[in-house]
Amino acid sequence: MSTHADYRLSHLDQLEAESIHIFREVAAEFEKPVLMFSGGKDSIVMLRLAEKAFYPARVPFPVLQVATGYDFPEVLATRDRWVERLGVRLHEASVEQAIADGIVVDDGKTPRNRLQIGTLLHAIESEGYTAAFGGGRRDEEKARAKERVFSHRDDFGQWDPKNQRPELWSLYNGQLHEGEHMRVFPLSNWTELDIWHYIAREDIDIPSIYYAHQRKVFERGGMLFTESEYNPCREGETVTERTVRFRTVGDLTLTGCLESEADTVEKVIEEVAASRVTERGATRGDDKFSEAAMEDRKKLGYF
């Protein structure tokens, strides 16, 4: 017979409880929150946590996706299934539309991933969002490692890493001035392995490209990229068909894949547990431009 003293939360239960607390705190404290959605595994885990936080009511804020126009079709299909199942409003901010409207400038050299910044900031300002949930985790990359759960953004949408607010225990400072907003990261204390264990435990629907499959790819800069009309091969590059999977998703011209035989969630967990490189370090070309690439983008207002 179990007693009160025997009651223990598992590691995943503790992470889940902390994230649900953050969702409820933001919904109570901020006038107009939104959930930023890339279509990746972390975004989808956030949706599942938001669903649990407010069940049996609906998730009380919309989902915002900044579409690059170079998105994986499998990711958009998964997004649409989640939006329909939860009955949440989808706000799609298009980089292509932002280019057409003169909000951002496409010079033919700047990757769509970077053009997401201006598109995202315009969407937040035009809709008057006061808090934006993001799926960033501290184990992904060093700029994310030093960012708070409640990350203040000034009236230009910028982050100042030297002027962050202290966070003691679970006490968050949500005070804002006119035009400012807060980025909120409910998954800050999760690791990639935690995410995969949670996907397995909750039987969460994620894009099929996370599992090993046959795909036409080519090698560039030590990474494998998918063949696409948006990412044509350069001289000397050759397309071959290999068994690969993606550890992260984003602009397909910058998101690399890995050769893998992990075609089930159990096999992916084994593979991630044995890896010594984070998913961003292994498969994101945009993080290889410089040592401080992510921090530079975050200062400008990136996710």
Tens digit of pLDDT for each residue in 267-293?
999 999 998 777 766 666 655 555 566
- Find, among 106, 104, 110, 90, the residue nearest to 39 by Cα: 90
**Paired sense of beta strands 63-67 and 90-94, if any:** parallel
Nearest 5 degrees, angle CA 258-CA 260-CA 266?
120
Q: Residue range 212-229: average pLDDT?
A: 92
Tokens of 17: 């409880």
How far apart are the C-alpha atoms of 292 and 300, rounded to whole Å? Answer: 13
Q: Nearest-CA neighbor of 291 among 119, 79, 185, 142?
A: 142
pLDDT average, residue stretch 33-42: 94
Q: How far apart are CA 50 and CA 293, in angstroms?
A: 30
Structure tokens at 286: 């945009």
DSSP structure class, residue 203: T
Tokens of 288: 């290889």
Write the pLDDT tens digit of every residue in 38-83.
889 999 999 999 999 999 999 999 999 999 889 999 999 999 999 9
Q: Report the range of poorest mean pLDDT among 91-95, 125-129, 155-159, 208-212.
A: 155-159
Strand segments (E) across the chain: 33-36, 63-67, 90-94, 131-133, 150-153, 181-184, 213-220, 223-226, 240-245, 258-259
Classify residue 81 as left (phi > 0), alpha (psi -120 to 50) or beta. Answer: alpha
Residue 2 has pLDDT above 60, yes or no: no
Nearest residue to 263 via CA among 237, 245, 249, 281: 245
Which pLDDT score is estimated for 276?
78
Residue 41 to residue 45: CA distance in whole angstroms: 6
